[in-house]
Amino acid sequence: MSKQQRSSGKQACLAALDHWRSSAGSERVLDVRWLVSGTEVPLEYMRLTESAGVISDVRPIPDSERQSAAPLMLMPPLVNSHTHLEFSGLSEPLGPRDSFAGWIGTVLQQRNHPERDSAVEISKGLWECECNFLHTVGEIVTGSEISEYPESQALQKVMFQEVIGLTDSRIDEQYSMAVARVQQIRASGRQDLLAGLSPHASYTVHPDLLQRLTALSTEYGLTVAMHLAETRAEMQLLERGNGELAEMLQRMGLFSARLFPGGRTICELLEILAAAPRALVVHGNYLGPAELKFLQQHPRMTVVYCPRTHAWFRHDDYPLQAMLASGIRVVLGTDSRASNPDLNLMQELAFVMQQNKWLKTEDAVSMITQQAAAALGCRNSATDFHAGCAAIGTLLSAECDDQSSRQLLATGAMSAVGRLEL
C-alpha cells in the first residue's frame, strides 16, 4: 500500500470516528473492518449499534455495504499493566545490559541527577500514554506527588506506591509512608486515580515489611505489584546468598547474612503475596516449576511480562507458553524507557505475537485488555462487544485492509486513532 493510500485509509478511519462522536445522544452505528474482542476469534466486517451508552446489536455488515467500511479495528480499552513514567524523558534504554547491578546503579544516577525534573518526565510519559489512547496504566510511584499526575478523564492511573526497606529500622517508616500515600489518593476524590502498593523486590524489601504491606492491601482492597524472578542475579542472591546483587548491597551497607543466607526461594514471597486481593508478579523471567505450580493454584495472582525489556536484557527464553498452558494469567507491560525504546503497548503486543507464532490473536489481545483490566482491579474497562456491554473500546487504523487481524497486529501495522467512549 502506498503512502497516499495509507493516508487515505487513516482519514476514512478518523471520519468514521468523527461521525460516531457527532451522533452521541441518539442511536448510532459504527462499521469496523475487524472486531477483536479478546475473548473470541476476531470477526471481520462487523456493525455495532449503540444506544444510551450500551451496545444494542452486533451483526455482520451486509455484503453490498462492505466496500465502504473504513480499515478500522476495534478492540477493548488498552491497559498497560506496568511502567515507571519517571524515566519517560530518556531517548534510549540505559546500560549496561550485561550487569543488573550495574544497570541499577545507572538508574539511580539518572533518578538522582541534579538537573532532572520528575514532573516533566512524568508529563512526557502521560502524554505518550494518551497519544497511544491507553485507558489504564499501572504506574510505579516513587517519591513523586500526585499533583505531578494531572487529572485526566481519558487515562486512569493505578498508582502503585513503591516501598523499599531492607533494614529493621526502615520497616515502620516505609509502612507509614505507604499508608499515607494510600489515604492521600483516596482522599483526593479523583476518579482517575486508584491506589496500589509496590513492595519493590526480593532484594530491597524486608519480609516483615512485605507481610505488613500485604495486610494493608487486604484492609483497603488494593492490588500489590512486586518485581520477582527478574534476573539470574536475583535468583543467585536468594538461592546462594552471593553474586553481584549481594556485592551491591554490601557496598551500600545493606547486606544481611540473616536475610540472605542462601536457600531462599521465590515461592516464599509468593506465599506472602497470595494473601492480597490481587497480586502482580512483575517480570517473572526466571520462574521455575514450583513457582508456576503455585501461581496455577492462586488465580488472583498475575504475571506481568514486559517483552521488549526482556529482550533488551537478553534474558533466557520467556516461559509464556508454559504459563498460559497451565492457566496462569499473563498480561503485558512496557516497563520504562530505562529498558524499553518507548511506551507503545501495541508494539509490545506485536513483539509477543512475532516471537510466539502459536499464540492466538484473541489470547494475545486479552493480555492488554480484559485480562489486564482484571489483574489491576479495573473491571470497568472490560468489554467483549456483546449486546448489553458498555460501548467503550480503542479504535485503530490499519495500514492496509487485505491482511488478517493477526498479520496486522503482529507486524505493528496498526496505529490507535481514538477511543470509543460513553
- pLDDT > 80? residue 207: yes
CA 294 to each of CA 149, 203, 269, 298: distance values in angstroms, whole numbers, following the listed order: 36, 21, 11, 7
pLDDT score recorded for residue 399: 74
Burial class (CB in 10 A: 0-12, 13-18, 19+), 15: exposed
C-beta of residue 246 within 8 angstroms of C-beta of residue 260: yes
What is the tens place of the pLDDT at every residue in 72-96?
A: 999 999 999 999 999 999 999 999 9
DSSP class of residue 349 equals: H
Q: What are the domain boundaries of the chain?
A: 3-76+383-420, 78-380
- Give domain 78-380's CATH number out of 3.20.20.100, 3.30.70.1140, 3.20.20.140, 3.30.1360.40: 3.20.20.140
pLDDT band at 6 (very low <50, low <70, confident <90, very high): low
pLDDT score recorded for residue 53: 87
- pLDDT > 50? residue 2: no
Average pLDDT over residues 187-206: 97
pLDDT score recorded for residue 7: 62
Average predicted confidence (pLDDT) for the chain? 94
Tell me which residue has cell 508529563.
123
Average pLDDT over residues 5-22: 82
Q: Please count the helices (runs of H) and the strands (runs of E) in the chain.
A: 15, 14
C-beta of residue 117 within 8 angstroms of C-beta of residue 368: no
pTM of the predicted protein model = 0.96
pLDDT band at 401 (very low <50, low <70, confident <90, very high): confident
- pLDDT > 60? residue 3: no
Residue 372 to residue 321: CA distance in whole angstroms: 18
CA-based nearest residue to 226, from 323, 82, 109: 82
What CATH fold (topology level) applies to the domain 3-76+383-420? Urease, subunit C; domain 1 (2.30.40)
Average pLDDT over residues 191-216: 98
